[in-house]
Amino acid sequence: MKKLVVLLLLLFFAGCSSVAQLEKRWLGRNKSALIAVRGTPEEVTSDGFGGEIYTYVKIHYSAYPEAFGYPSGEPFYRYPGDYGYHPLLVAAGSSKTMFWIDPYDKIYRVRLRISH
């Protein structure tokens, strides 16, 4: 449980800085620049104001040792020379980046959603 809380907090703070970076990079830029860099979006929907919302989805995987955080209370190395076997756990998630584009093809809003 402690591992999950730490992981969620790290992803939350990483997500906050990522949104700021996305806004800094993309707000005010043209739709053609977005397509040139990110490619064709997975989904295009209306923003309700004559513009569009471009959605890009990225699947990501993370691997970490099962003993991460020492859930049993024992350290990873119990004595010198003991390298105990701890299999890797794999966590999958996705991130959805959405770009709001006005009728003049300028990006006016960016949103990042991370799912676990």
Domain ranges of the chain: 2-69+83-115
91 with 83: CB under 8 angstroms? no
Structure tokens at 57: 């989805």
Structure tokens at 21: 């970076």
Structure tokens at 28: 């005010």
Residue 100 to residue 105: CA distance in whole angstroms: 9
Q: Which amino acid is at 97?
A: T
Structure tokens at 116: 């676990």
pLDDT tens-digit profile, the chain (116 residues): 566 555 555 555 555 557 888 889 999 999 999 999 999 999 999 999 999 999 999 888 777 665 544 444 455 555 555 555 556 677 788 889 999 999 999 999 999 988 76
Cβ contacts of 81 within 8 Å, gap of 6 or more: none
